[in-house]
């Protein structure tokens, strides 16, 4: 059988089966049950926030956060252009306009120095994405937000457990959102979470995610809401994963460390940097190919695919997607375009072993070496 290494895979090595079986045995399989409460309680403790509210996926979490913050038609929300499409889409769900900011060349996250020039009278807030598990530079973002009375949402879909200057991601902005998709650091299969220290925001989110139901009056709906709830089964998996979250994070940091050691002397590659103020959790171990190689990023990906190694290109910048090109103002987004077009995410998951990483790095280096020989 041909060797195949996936780019991501869940690791279910704790109480997942036991907790799911408990849900089945008790018949509590829908959106009520003890695991919902337990998962919310423990995840709030993990993030060091007062409130954690489950929902059915990470995109929904962003939508709930924006709605609770009052985002609506005519508003603008500043988002990084280099992100997964859900960040921008959630803004448009509210009838608002995403305004795109370029990337910092070192972290690939939004560049705080460019934010203030994008603020208009329509600007409502900022979404800071912690891309590929590395925290955005939050202090200057928060300072700008305070100066202009803007909210800050942390899109932490890829950054469970990351830290910024000793503070846990999710506890820094006004509100934060997480994804528990199957390729995330911890998973519920599909699922999301909203965390905040704001009591009023938490109450709004709980009402919005449950069809707008009045918590004090059964079947009374004083506002339009959504069916955005998580199932008890999904929460049971999440709780089991959360019990081992330190191990999951440690494994990813170890894996990234092996990659960095094996690729440190490869001149064609730039590894993702970990800034001195950050604790990156490496949702993906990410590299950027330098510009002086003959083959394109996609050709290198195809070479690795033939060797049984699944990888992923970086996200397309949002401003290059058909539905958002008309929203781009007349300013450069060059760093994001360059990083995106040369970026590769290497296989990263807890069960990936050192022999697999050695094989991946060997094949990657050989593909680059063969590529360079075309110059001779």
Express each pLDDT in 221-252 by its tens digit.
999 999 999 999 999 999 999 999 999 999 99
pLDDT at 329 over 60: yes
pLDDT digits (tens, 9 = 90+) for 139-194: 999 999 999 999 999 999 999 999 999 999 999 999 999 999 999 999 999 999 99
Mean pLDDT of 201-210: 97
Name the residue ranges covered by the structural domains of the chain.
Answer: 16-243, 245-373
- Residue 292: the pLDDT is 79
pLDDT at 375 over 80: no
Level-2 CATH architecture, domain 16-243: 3-Layer(aba) Sandwich (3.40)
pLDDT at 328 over 80: no
pLDDT at 195 over 70: yes
- Residue 373: the pLDDT is 43
pLDDT at 376 over 50: no
- Residue 330: the pLDDT is 62
Give the pLDDT band of residue 370 (cuts 50, 70, 90). low
pLDDT digits (tens, 9 = 90+) for 285-312: 999 999 878 889 999 999 999 999 999 9
Q: Which of 25-29, 46-50, 145-149, 369-373 has the lowest mean pLDDT?
A: 369-373
- What does the alpha-carbon distance between residue 239 and residue 290 come to, in Å, rounded to a whole number? 41
CB-count exposure of residue 240 (10 Å: 0-12, 13-18, 19+): buried
Mean pLDDT of 98-121: 97
Give the pLDDT band of residue 332 (cuts 50, 70, 90). confident
Give the pLDDT band of residue 374 (cuts 50, 70, 90). very low
Q: Do domains 16-243 and 245-373 have the same CATH topology?
A: no
- Residue 77: the pLDDT is 98
pLDDT at 119 over 50: yes
Contact criterion met (CB below 8 Å) for 199 and 50? yes
- Residue 331: the pLDDT is 75
Cα distances (Å, whole numbers) of residue 363 to 257, 343, 360: 18, 17, 5
Level-2 CATH architecture, domain 245-373: Alpha-Beta Complex (3.90)
- Residue 1: the pLDDT is 63
- Residue 293: the pLDDT is 85
């Amino acid at each position: 059988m041909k060797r195949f290494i996936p780019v991501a895979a869940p690791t279910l090595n704790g109480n997942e089966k036991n907790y799911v079986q408990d849900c089945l045995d008790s018949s509590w399989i829908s959106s009520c049950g003890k695991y919902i409460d337990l998962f919310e309680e423990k995840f709030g403790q993990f993030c060091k926030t007062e409130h954690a509210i489950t929902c059915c996926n990470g995109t929904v979490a962003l939508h709930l956060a924006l709605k609770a913050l009052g985002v609506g038609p005519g508003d603008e929300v500043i988002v990084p252009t280099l992100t997964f499409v859900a960040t921008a889409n959630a803004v448009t769900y509210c009838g608002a306009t995403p305004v795109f900011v370029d990337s910092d060349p070192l972290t690939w996250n939004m560049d705080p120095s460019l934010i203030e020039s994008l603020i208009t009278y329509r600007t409502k807030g900022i979404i800071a994405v912690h891309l590929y598990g590395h925290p955005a530079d939050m202090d200057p973002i928060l300072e700008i937000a305070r100066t202009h009375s803007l909210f800050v949402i942390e899109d932490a879909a890829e950054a469970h457990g990351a830290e910024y200057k000793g503070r846990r991601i999710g506890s820094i902005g006004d509100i934060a959102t997480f994804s528990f998709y199957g390729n995330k650091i911890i998973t519920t299969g599909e699922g999301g979470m909203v965390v905040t220290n704001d009591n009023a925001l938490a109450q709004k989110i709980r009402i919005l995610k449950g069809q707008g139901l009045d918590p004090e009056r059964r079947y009374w709906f004083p506002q339009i809401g959504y069916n955005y709830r998580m199932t008890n089964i999904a929460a049971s998996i999440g709780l089991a994963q959360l019990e081992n979250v330190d191990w999951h994070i440690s494994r990813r940091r170890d894996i990234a460390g092996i990659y960095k050691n094996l690729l440190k002397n490869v001149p064609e590659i730039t590894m993702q940097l970990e800034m001195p103020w950050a604790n990156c959790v490496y949702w993906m171990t990410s590299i950027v190919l330098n510009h002086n190689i003959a083959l394109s990023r996609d050709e290198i990906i195809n070479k690795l695919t033939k060797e049984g190694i699944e990888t992923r290109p970086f996200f397309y910048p949002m401003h290059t997607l058909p539905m958002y090109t008309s929203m781009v103002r007349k300013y450069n987004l060059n760093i994001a375009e360059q990083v995106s077009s040369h970026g590769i995410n290497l296989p990263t998951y807890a069960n990936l072993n050192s022999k697999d990483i050695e094989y991946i790095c060997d094949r990657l280096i050989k593909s680059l070496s063969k590529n360079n020989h075309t110059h001779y």
